[in-house]
């Protein structure tokens, strides 16, 4: 179960994790039982933020592209699916245990961390030599030599501080369970480790029933499960997570054109959402997975450095051909333009909803000194794009009397069908503004005595704290404009 990370004080995500818990974004799963490692629950604001991110992705894929349709496939799939995809045989991580602490590590991660130490000390040559050697040994599946390399590098377990290592073993990341009520009949099935295969096995169903013509795409959002050995960095690497994947089916030979198209298109999407250009970069893969002929990651500069948020992969015809072989059902498309039957090639875009959430939260977290001299203090706020902000506006009557609460509720009632709002009348207006800043509400609508006279309210903008007077009848239009998905779409 979850163990307290003794290095938590040095964790660069410490502030984000603390803020996410304190203000209702993300909690450790089963916290009252000391938690379950690498499994998390989303609180009231986290849940709204995640839903908004998924909605934005979904609409960007399906509404903005007439040739992309969506599906919702099951988590359980026929076991042969994972034989075909290669997950049964090669979805492995090399693991090593420390005999004294009984802690388990990924052998490659231990060596990568050692290389990072060399790099930090300015010895780049030693770092790359170590990574190269590790790559060669893993490719050759020489696990005994990987263990020896760990020992030769003087790597010790951070908990026991000894080098009393077991042998290195390959560890399959898929979770399995049994289907069938009678033990004898039960057969082992897997919790899907990626959503993509649910799309591949439905390729012909969708193509025929939605009358799709190549090139076309199928999008899906859903849970995926991986028994990650290195489960750290909060929601960056989880055992249960959500993926947003799109498989784009193309004519063989056209895949590189579409690969470049989707690389650019997805990078543009991240920028349109408001992620600063300098915090994003591509990482083109030199070493390709068995199914790919090109692959790149979009990386974000997290508090712990640049790391993958999304993958764009040219998967050739690997998956459909494998399913054709194992299912003995043709997975072909007749292309009327060139009068030819073929197994389509596929370009995939794959992003984790939780990892995107962490990126957006890290990027939004802002601390700013306000005031001067003795009055200077830190203001913390979450600078979410209003399009994805969990709460769009808070309605705040200045006082609890003189009919202000009634007027505030009237405004709340008129807007609640179209926007997620908070109505609050407890405590001073300043404290209420602060609370909204901490959950990233872009607009606070204050109802005061002038409202009763001229039907206008004060709208406070979260990022600048500037205030403006707006007529109540214009509020709906104001919020619609500020929170519309179009604000992102127009930049694509």
Binding site for ligand GAP (CB under 6 A): 194, 196, 226, 228, 237-238, 241, 243, 245, 308-311, 348, 350-352, 354-355
Max Cα-Cα span within the chain: 81
In degrees and rounded to multiples of 5, residue 386 shows phi and psi of -55, -25
DSSP structure string for 258-299: HHHHHHHHHHHHHHHTT--GGGEEEEE-SSPPTT-SEEEEEE
Contact 349, 312 (CB under 8 A): yes
State the nearest-atom distance from the C-beta of 242 to ligand GAP, in Å.
Answer: 8
State the nearest-atom distance from the C-beta of 346 to ligand GAP, in Å.
Answer: 10
Where helices occur in 121-231 by DSSP H, the ranges are 124-139, 143-152, 196-200, 203-209
> 200 or 433: whose CB is closer to ligand GAP?
200
State the nearest-atom distance from the C-beta of 130 to ligand GAP, in Å.
Answer: 24
Q: Name the residue whose CB lies closest to ligand GAP.
A: 352
How far is it, in rounded angstroms, from Cα 351 to Cα 196? 11
- Calculate the CA 185 to chain-centre distance: 38
Q: Which residues pair with 306 in a beta bridge?
A: 301
State the nearest-atom distance from the C-beta of 466 to ligand GAP, in Å.
Answer: 36
* CA-based nearest residue to 55, from 439, 441, 388: 388
> 55 or 308: whose CB is closer to ligand GAP?
308
> 347 or 422: whose CB is closer to ligand GAP?
347
Phi-psi region of 457 (alpha: psi -120 to 50; beta: other; left: phi over 0): beta
What sign does the dihedral 189-84-173-193 (CA atoms) show? Answer: negative
Contact 83, 172 (CB under 8 A): no
> 227 or 465: whose CB is closer to ligand GAP?
227
> 322 or 441: whose CB is closer to ligand GAP?
322
- All residues at 6 or more sequence positions from 217 whose CB lies less than 8 Å from its CB, including other chains: 61, 65, 67, 68, 69, 246, 247, 248, 249
In degrees and rounded to multiples of 5, residue 464 shows phi and psi of -105, -15
> 286 or 374: whose CB is closer to ligand GAP?
286
* CA-based nearest residue to 179, from 84, 36, 90, 75: 75
> 195 or 458: whose CB is closer to ligand GAP?
195
State the nearest-atom distance from the C-beta of 435 to ligand GAP, in Å.
Answer: 30
DSSP structure string for 290-349: TT-SEEEEEEEEETTEEEEEEEEEE-TTHHHHHHHHHH-----EEETTTTEEEPPEEEEE
| C-alpha R_g of the chain | 26
DSSP structure string for 103-120: -EEEHHHHHHHHHHHHHH
How far is it, in rounded angstroms, from Cα 392 to Cα 26? 19
State the nearest-atom distance from the C-beta of 18 to ligand GAP, in Å.
Answer: 20
State the nearest-atom distance from the C-beta of 74 to ligand GAP, in Å.
Answer: 16
State the nearest-atom distance from the C-beta of 449 to ligand GAP, in Å.
Answer: 50
State the nearest-atom distance from the C-beta of 1 to ligand GAP, in Å.
Answer: 18
State the nearest-atom distance from the C-beta of 293 to ligand GAP, in Å.
Answer: 15
State the nearest-atom distance from the C-beta of 114 to ligand GAP, in Å.
Answer: 23
> 192 or 460: whose CB is closer to ligand GAP?
192
> 160 or 293: whose CB is closer to ligand GAP?
293
> 127 or 224: whose CB is closer to ligand GAP?
224
Strand 216-225 and strand 68-70: pairing?
Answer: parallel
> 153 or 310: whose CB is closer to ligand GAP?
310
Q: How many CA atoms lie within 13 A of 134 on its CB side?
A: 24
């Amino acid at each position: 179960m979850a163990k307290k990370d003794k290095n938590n004080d040095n964790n660069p995500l410490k502030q984000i994790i603390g803020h996410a818990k304190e203000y209702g974004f993300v909690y450790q799963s089963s916290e009252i039982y000391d938690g379950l490692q690498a499994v998390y629950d989303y609180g009231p604001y986290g849940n709204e933020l995640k839903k908004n991110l998924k909605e934005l992705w979904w609409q960007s894929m399906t509404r903005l592209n007439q040739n992309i349709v969506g599906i919702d496939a099951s988590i359980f799939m026929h076991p042969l699916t994972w034989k075909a995809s290669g997950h049964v045989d090669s979805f492995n991580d090399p693991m090593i245990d420390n005999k004294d602490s009984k802690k388990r590590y990924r052998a490659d991660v231990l060596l990568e961390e050692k290389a990072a130490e060399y790099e930090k000390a300015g010895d780049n040559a030693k770092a790359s030599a170590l990574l190269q050697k590790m790559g060669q040994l893993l490719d050759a599946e020489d696990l005994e030599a990987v263990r020896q390399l760990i020992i030769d590098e003087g790597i010790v377990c951070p908990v026991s501080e000894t080098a009393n290592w077991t042998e290195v073993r390959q560890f399959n990341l898929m979770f399995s369970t049994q289907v069938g009520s009678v033990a004898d009949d039960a057969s082992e099935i897997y919790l899907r480790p990626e959503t993509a295969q649910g799309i591949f096995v439905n390729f012909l169903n969708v193509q025929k029933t939605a009358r799709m013509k190549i090139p076309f795409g199928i999008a899906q959002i859903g849970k995926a499960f991986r028994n990650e050995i290195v489960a750290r960095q909060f929601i960056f690497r989880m055992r249960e997570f959500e993926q947003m994947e799109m498989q784009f089916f193309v004519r063989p030979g056209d895949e590189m054109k579409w690969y470049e198209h989707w690389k650019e298109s997805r990078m543009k999407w991240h920028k349109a959402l408001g992620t600063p250009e300098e915090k994003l970069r591509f990482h083109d893969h030199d070493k390709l997975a068995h199914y790919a002929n090109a692959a790149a990651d979009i990386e974000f500069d997290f508090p712990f450095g640049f790391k993958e948020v999304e993958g764009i992969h040219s998967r050739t015809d690997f998956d459909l051909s494998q399913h054709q072989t194992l299912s003995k059902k043709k997975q072909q498309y007749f292309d009327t333009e060139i009068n030819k039957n073929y197994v389509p090639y596929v370009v995939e875009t794959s992003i984790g909803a939780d990892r995107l959430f962490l990126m957006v939260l890290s990027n939004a977290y802002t601390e700013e000194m306000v005031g001067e001299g003795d009055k200077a203090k830190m203001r913390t706020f979450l600078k979410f794009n209003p399009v994805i902000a969990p709460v769009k506006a808070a309605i705040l009557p200045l006082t609890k009397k003189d009919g202000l609460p009634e007027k505030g509720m009237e405004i709340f009632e008129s807007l609640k069908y179209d926007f997620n709002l908070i109505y609050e009348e407890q405590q001073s207006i300043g404290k209420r503004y602060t609370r909204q800043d901490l959950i990233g509400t872009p607009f606070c609508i204050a109802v005061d005595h002038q409202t009763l006279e001229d039907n206008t309210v004060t709208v406070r903008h979260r990022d600048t704290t500037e205030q403006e007077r707006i007529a109540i009848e214009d509020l709906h239009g104001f919020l619609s404009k500020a929170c519309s998905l179009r604000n992102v779409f127009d930049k694509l």
